[in-house]
Amino acid sequence: MKHLLKLLDCTPEEITSILDLADQLKYERKHHISHRLLEGKSIGLIFQKSSTRTRVSFETGMFQLGGQALFLSSRDLQIGRGEPVQDTARVLSRYLDGIMIRTYEQKEVEDLAKYGSIPIINGLTDFCHPCQVLADLMTIREKYGVLKGLKMCYIGDGNNMANSLIVGGLKSDMQVSIATPDNYRPAKEVLDFAAGNDAFTLVNDPIKAVENADVVITDTWTSMGQEEEKKIRQQAFQGYQINDELMAAAKPGAMVMHCLPAYRGQEITEKIFEEHASEIFEEAENRLHAQKAVMVTLMK
C-alpha cells in the first residue's frame, strides 16, 4: 500500500490492517504509552477546502507520532496561483515524507501520487472521503466487535461519504443500504463496483432502506461548494431526515453516526443527534486514531 487515494484501491486486508493498528494506537494513547513511530518525519497538509476535524486530527496525530505537520493553505502555495500539480508534487517530494490533501477534484489527488515520490493521503475530495469512513468502520467495530454481517444504512445525498461508505462497507463484508433521491445518487464508478453484490441495495425510500439496520448514517445535504444549491437541496431531501419515525424501523439500539458538521433540524433532528452524541463524537475522535494508523502504514 503506497497511498490512500480512495478505498476502491484498498484490499479488504489492508482496510482491516489499518483498523487493527488504529485500535492499538488508541489503546496506547489512552494508557499513556508513547508511540513515536514517525520520529523525524514531516507531512505536508494541503487544504483547498477548509476543515475542523481533518486539520486538527492530522496535526495532533503527527505530533503524537513524533513527527512534524506543516499546514499548507492553497492561498500560500504556488499551486493556488496556477503552478501545475505535477511540479508541486515533485518539489514537495524532495522536502517531505508524505502529503495529505483536502481538495475538490479527485484527479488532483491522483496526480500528486502519479508525479510525486512520497505517500499521498486523500483528506477529502468531492468523490470520496476515505479517512472519515475508516474512522466510521473503526467506531462501528468498537461497538459491535465485528463488521461482517452488520447492516449499515446511509440516508441522504449520494456524495463523497456515500461513495466511500458503500466501498468500505462492502469490502468489510457488511450489508450496505443507501437511500437517496434519484437526482442525487452515488457515483457511477461506485455503483459499478457494487453492481451484482447481493449485500448492496439502493432505494428512494428511507424507511425501506433503514429496516433492521445496525448503523444509521447521514451527512449534510449541502456540501462545500454547493451553497448555491441549498434551497433546491432542502426541498429534494425532504423525507430523508434521521428522526424518531425513521429510527423506529431500524434495529433496537441501532447506532447513529454523522461525519459532522451537523445541521440539526435538517438531515437529523436535535433529539436524535443528542441521544446518539456519544457515538457521533467517538466517531469524530476516531478520525485521529484511524489517520495515525494510515500515516504509520504509509510513512514508517
- Binding site residues for carbamoyl phosphate, as ranges? 51-54, 78, 102, 129-132, 259-260, 287
**E strand or H helix at 43, and its extent?**
strand 42-47
Give CA–CA dist 81/288, Å, rounded. 31
- Asked if 283 and 257 touch (Cβ cutoff 8 Å), the reply is yes
Catalytic residue check, 102 = yes
Q: Give the torsion through C-alpha atoms of 129, 135, 136, 138, to 10 deg.
A: 140
At residue 216, φ and ψ (nearest 5 deg) are -120, 125
Nearest one of 181, 156, 176 to 246, comparing CA atoms: 156
219: annotated active-site residue? yes
Which is catalytic among the residues 258, 259, 289, 291?
A: 259
Query: Going by DSSP bridges, is the β-strand pair 151-155/120-124 parallel, antiparallel, or unpaired?
Result: unpaired
**Known active-site residue 132:** yes
Q: Which of 10, 97, 102, 291 is catalytic?
A: 102
- Bind-site residues for L-ornithine: 160, 219, 223-224
- Marked catalytic residue, from 10, 128, 129, 214: 129
Angle at which helices 12-30 and 160-171 cross, to 10°: 100
Q: Is 75 in the active site? A: no
From residue 212, give the alpha-carbon distance in Å to each of 148, 179, 208, 215, 217.
Answer: 15, 14, 9, 9, 14
Whether 32 is a known active-site residue: answer no
Of the candidates 219, 241, 276, 289, the residue annotated as catalytic is 219
Q: Tell me the C-alpha distance between 143 and 284, whole Å.
A: 15
238 neighbors 246 (Cβ within 8 angstroms) = no
Which is catalytic among the residues 48, 106, 132, 266? 132
Instruction: Evaluate whether 280 touches 256 at the Cβ level (below 8 Å).
Output: yes
Is residue 287 annotated as part of the catalytic site, yes or no? yes
Contact 199, 177 (CB under 8 A): no
Show which residues are catalytic. Answer: 102, 129, 132, 219, 259, 287
